[in-house]
Amino acid sequence: MLIEQLFLDYSPLTPCQILGRSSRFLVLVDIEGTKEYDHLNNTGRLKDLLVHGKTGSAYL
């Protein structure tokens, strides 16, 4: 197995701005002026990471 096959391809990541967490699995983000809900697979608290105005990456 090649080392490249061990990693998932996340190449189409899009920069976004975090606006808030709606529920355990949804985060409201701003992508180029458009507000969208994105799935979050981590149900932990993430209080220090999911802060309004912080920059993140969205997988579209």
Residue 6 lies inside a defined structural domain of this protein: no
* Spatial distance between the Cα atoms of 46 and 35, rounded to a whole number of angstroms: 21
CATH number of the domain to which 24 belongs:
2.40.50.580
- Domain with 54, as residue range(s), is 12-59
Buried b (16+ CB within 10 A) or exposed e, 7-37: eeeeeeeeebbbbebeeeeebbbeeeeeeee
Residue 7 lies inside a defined structural domain of this protein: no
What pLDDT digit, counting tens, does each position of 1-11 carry?
Answer: 566 566 666 67
Residue 41 lies inside a defined structural domain of this protein: yes
How high is the pLDDT of residue 30? 97
- Percentage of the chain beyond pLDDT 90 is 55
Contact criterion met (CB below 8 Å) for 16 and 54: no
Q: How many domains does the chain have?
A: 1
How high is the pLDDT of residue 16? 95
- Percentage of the chain beyond pLDDT 70 is 83
What predicted TM-score, i.e. pTM, was given to this entire model?
0.76
